[in-house]
Amino acid sequence: MKRREFMKANAAAAAATVAGVTIPIKVLAQSDADKSITWSKAPCRYCGVGCGVLVGVQNGRVVASQGDPEAPVNKGLNCIKGYFLPKIMYGQDRVKQPLLRMTNGQYDKNGEFTPVSWDKAFTIMSEKYKAALKNGPNAAGIFMSGQSTVWEGYAAAKLFKAGLRSNNIDPNARHCMASAVVSFMRSFGMDEPMGCYDDFELADAFVLWGSNMAEAHPILWSRLTDRRLSNPNVKVVVLSTFLNRSCDLADIKMVFTPQTEMKILNYIANYLIQNNAVNKEFMDNFVNIRKGATDIGYGLRPNHPLEQKAANANSGASEPMTFEEYKQFLSEYTLEKVSKESGVPAEQITALAKLYADPNVKVMSLWCMGVNQHVRGVWTNHLIYNLHLMTGKISLPGNGPFSLTGQPSACGTAREVGTFAHRLPADLVVANPEHRKFSEKIWKLPDGAIQPEQGLHAVAQDRALRDGKLNAYWTQTTNNMQAGPNIYEDRMKGWRDPRNFIVVSDPYPTVSALSADLILPTSMWVEKEGAYGNAERRCQFWRQAIKGPGESRSDLWQLVEFSKYFKTDEVWPAELLAKNPEFRGKTLYQVLFANGQVDKYPLSDIPAGLLNDESKDFGYYIQKGLFEEYATFGRGHGHDLADFELYHKARGLRWPVVDSKETLWRYSEGYDPYVKPGQKFNFYGNKDGKAVIFALPYEPPAEMPDKEYDLWFCTGRVIEHWHTGTMTRRVPELHRAFPQAVLFMNPVDAQKRQLRRGDKVKIISRRGEITSLVETRGRNKMPEGVVFIPFFDASQLANAITLDATDPLSKETDFKKCAVRVEKA
């Protein structure tokens, strides 16, 4: 498929997307009158907030949903997307059977999508994977997301890292939360926030660092709003590169020049020292200070000029630093300098600094993509932690840094299960020999089964595809052809390279599916039994409520069934089998899933009358078996999960769960069972029980506006749509509310280019161009020099022009900053 053909096909798919009609009004009216609706609980399918909903089923179809009044996260509320949840499953273009590109009955890279059986699909897939693995473990891989259920992610990690012996598995959470992961691990030795959503009712000040919660996390925003409006002394501060809907509530609205929030953060740290606002007792007992390596590059290809110039490319090294040395390091970040360089008035910066400095003000810092999707995302996370560690405002009710998340199980699956290329479950990593040995023991594998080298991260996978080094590739629960950066440079060329075989599992013909060689029809949300883990460490379960359409199957079924097509003799080295002959001739299914642990829970453990298609296919309660085996990794190690059955009864539990009791605030005496009486605090992820402050300077972004490309370009979300719109654009009400992406632009910038609101324009970067319509009014008020476009619209591929520069430590892409020019189309 040539680029022009792809764009044409994609435009047709975009039109089909919005034409879909879900539940007819007549059916809804009948269901209201008929009381035969069966209700069950589930977490919402969308973002990482983890709202609880009640799902109404009638005659095998979801006909209604409502906010769950017993759910502690949302207390019966839903956002606009949540209220239309039933309709996400009933778009007219659902994929209902496997589709393989074929010509004259044979696979053809340039053929037409043709229905095939599951056996045919898995047969050709397995042939392609076996051939690829002969070129090394990174020649085959899978790309998943924070939308995979806990057991789907666990099964995938097990299949690839243990069965196929390839660590080449990564989630789209790499584009989402990887910077938060790396910084949590570096500062605290453990991942994920130490606080919880209860802080929204307890904090005195909320500081949003680059987060538009009003649109991206609306239910949490409603809790924050209630706290602010109910308590006149509570303050809200919003820092952003443009005015957005969250600014409407803010007491202080701070619009800064892109990337300069790092300077503001370092100034506040300097202010704390200069004004004797440092909690010296807390620092002395619970904090170490380290100086991080600088000039670390931008995660581009090694031959890129910026990487060639970097003195310490990709370095995460650090060295001890004294408090006096840290004080000296911060001294250059003066109020006058930071105000001038950030564009934020000095009085606003001072007012914010005073909130952190006041020991009587409980501060909750909040951030998401604005900080994480950043070429210095790890550093910026650290700079936020620094303020809380310097003041002791951490791990206490109402006090703490809180990294929000974008997907329903980015925490529960990608992070906790470990579907990153370098991770294993419960914060273990493949590079650590003790971690590998521990994992092999749980998985009943021979020593040496898990490879020590980490796999390729998301952007590296794109580059390997382009270079013909990654030849068999499978994506699930993600639309990366639309969502990933710099679409045409590596990814599209790699996907359409005849050396490579690409598989996409999806319910709908997305941009990614149209670019693939094989499409597998996926059951979604309540068409399967599932588990998600949200941003406050809350794991939530749901039961299968309906059957998927046609031949669709869950991603879990696909992964486990696919394992039957491989024998150890085909994918394990001869020396490993020679030492462990008992594994010879076995299928990966027998080794990984029918291993006496996963398959030990009988079907009778499933309550009578409930659906569970996967378990009935495999002959045992597979979700329970996978979960209980997975939970073994964390129990007794600070990642404790409760017994399986408890989650089906509860509205989720926040780990660590010890003696059936959840933990609200980690690392703090009286709240965390791992902190002993008298310790006060114990950051037990680190051996000495201390957290780490990192001294890190401002460094510029990879690309800045110049004479030729004179505008900052930023992408993001709007409340009506979620990510690439695969689900929301198939809901007629949401589509009508925001039918197409627009380019938000300052009126002065528009006037300079002789543009008016509604004009069609070309947005051009060094990588490509797209067209859109100018919007100079509306919800986003852009400062001069900055433009913004949401990325949900498949007819306007925003990421065709973004840069694939990443944070060198987290490998997370900076979608928020590149240079473009805008001209009339």
Residues with a catalytic annotation lie at 81, 176-177, 369, 406-407
Helix residue ranges, H only, 731-803: 732-737, 747-752
Between CA 389 and CA 791 the distance in angstroms is 36
Q: Is 172 annotated in some ligand binding site?
A: yes
- Amino acid type, 446: P
Q: Is 717 annotated in some ligand binding site?
A: yes
DSSP 84-123: GGGGGG--TT---S-EEEEETTEE-TTSEEEE--HHHHHH
Between CA 179 and CA 406 the distance in angstroms is 13
Q: Is 394 annotated in some ligand binding site?
A: no
DSSP strand pairing (472-476 vs 140-144): parallel
- Amino acid type, 19: A
Q: Is 51 annotated in some ligand binding site?
A: yes
Q: Is 816 annotated in some ligand binding site?
A: yes
Q: SS3 for 566?
A: coil
DSSP 471-523: -EEEEES--HHHHSSSIIIIIHHHHT-TT-EEEEEESS--HHHHHSSEEEEB-
- Amino acid type, 791: F
Q: Is 196 annotated in some ligand binding site?
A: no
Q: Is 506 annotated in some ligand binding site?
A: yes
Q: Is 411 annotated in some ligand binding site?
A: no
Residue 558: is it exposed, middle or buried by C-beta count within 10 angstroms (0-12/13-18/19+)? buried
- 546: which DSSP letter? S
Q: Which two tokens stand for residue 669?
A: 């005496």
Q: Is residue 8 within a helix (H) or strand (E), and if so which, with residue range?
A: helix 3-19
Q: Is 308 annotated in some ligand binding site?
A: no
Which of 618, 613, 576 has its CA nearest to residue 593?
A: 618
Length of the chain: 825
Q: Is 6 annotated in some ligand binding site?
A: no
Q: Is 799 annotated in some ligand binding site?
A: yes
Alpha carbon of 183 to those of 18, 316, 512: distances in Å?
40, 11, 31
User: HSE (CB half, 13 Å, CA atoms) of 10?
Assistant: 24
- Tell me if 709 sits within 8 A of 820, measured CB to CB: yes
Q: Which two tokens stand for residue 621?
A: 């309660």
Between CA 738 and CA 595 the distance in angstroms is 50
DSSP 419-466: -STTB-STT-BTT-HHHHHHHHHHTT--TT-S-SS----HHHHHHHHH
User: HSE (CB half, 13 Å, CA atoms) of 542?
Assistant: 27
Q: SS3 for 820?
A: strand
Strands of the 252-255 sheet, one edge to the other: 252-255, 235-240, 205-209, 363-367, 400-403
Q: Is 672 annotated in some ligand binding site?
A: no
Q: Which two tokens stand for residue 221?
A: 């925003």
Residue 626: is it exposed, middle or buried by C-beta count within 10 angstroms (0-12/13-18/19+)? buried
Write the CB contacts of 343 (distance below 8 Å, at least 6 apart in sequence): 255, 256, 257, 260, 783
Q: Is 627 annotated in some ligand binding site?
A: no
DSSP 658-713: BTTB--SSTTBTTT-TTSPTT-SB--TTSTTS-EEEEE------S----SSS-EEE
Q: Is 44 annotated in some ligand binding site?
A: yes
Torsions phi, psi for 218 (to 5 deg): -65, -30
Q: Is 645 annotated in some ligand binding site?
A: no
DSSP 140-199: EEEEE-TTS-HHHHHHHHIIIIIIS----EEEGGGGTTHHHHHHHHHHHSS-S-SS-GGG
Between CA 509 and CA 96 the distance in angstroms is 11
Q: Is 47 annotated in some ligand binding site?
A: yes
Q: Is 147 annotated in some ligand binding site?
A: yes
Q: Is 763 annotated in some ligand binding site?
A: no
Q: Is 149 annotated in some ligand binding site?
A: no
Total Cβ atoms within 10 A of residue 279: 19
Q: Is 369 annotated in some ligand binding site?
A: yes
DSSP 202-244: T-SEEEEES--HHHHSHHHHHHHHHHHHH-TT-EEEEEESSB-
Q: Is 539 annotated in some ligand binding site?
A: no
Q: Is 780 annotated in some ligand binding site?
A: no
Q: Is 720 annotated in some ligand binding site?
A: yes
Q: Is 176 annotated in some ligand binding site?
A: yes
Which segments are annotated as binding site?
44, 47, 51, 79, 81, 147, 172, 176, 369, 373, 479, 505-506, 528, 555, 715-724, 791, 799, 816
Which segments are annotated as binding site for substrate?
791
Which segments are annotated as binding site for [4Fe-4S] cluster?
44, 47, 51, 79
